[in-house]
């Protein structure tokens, strides 16, 4: 799961700094935070 979150963060960076490249799925800071909350005990 943490590997998935790492890639989500990378895709978020792409969406911020290289928008013309696009991302394979919708990504937002909210989605990353929700994924992180799911693995936090």
Structurally, the chain folds into a number of domains equal to 1
pLDDT at site 16 = 93
Question: Which whole number is the average pLDDT over 13-38?
Answer: 93
Which of 34, 10, 37, 38 is CA-nearest to residue 24? Answer: 10
State how far the Cα of 19 lies from the Cα of 1, in Å rounded to an integer. Answer: 25
DSSP assignment of 1-41, as one string?
-HHHHHHHHHHHHHHHH-GGG--SS---HHHHHHHHHHH--
CA 6 to chain centre: 7
Question: How far is 12 from 23, CA to CA, in rounded Å?
Answer: 8
Q: Write out the residue range of the structural domain in which residue 15 sits.
A: 2-39
What average pLDDT is seen over the chain? Answer: 92
To the question of pTM greater than 0.85 for the whole model, the response is no
């Amino acid at each position: 799961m943490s590997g998935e979150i790492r890639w989500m963060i990378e895709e978020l960076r792409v969406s911020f700094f290289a928008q013309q490249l696009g991302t394979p799925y919708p990504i937002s800071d909210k989605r990353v935070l929700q994924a992180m909350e799911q693995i936090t005990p």
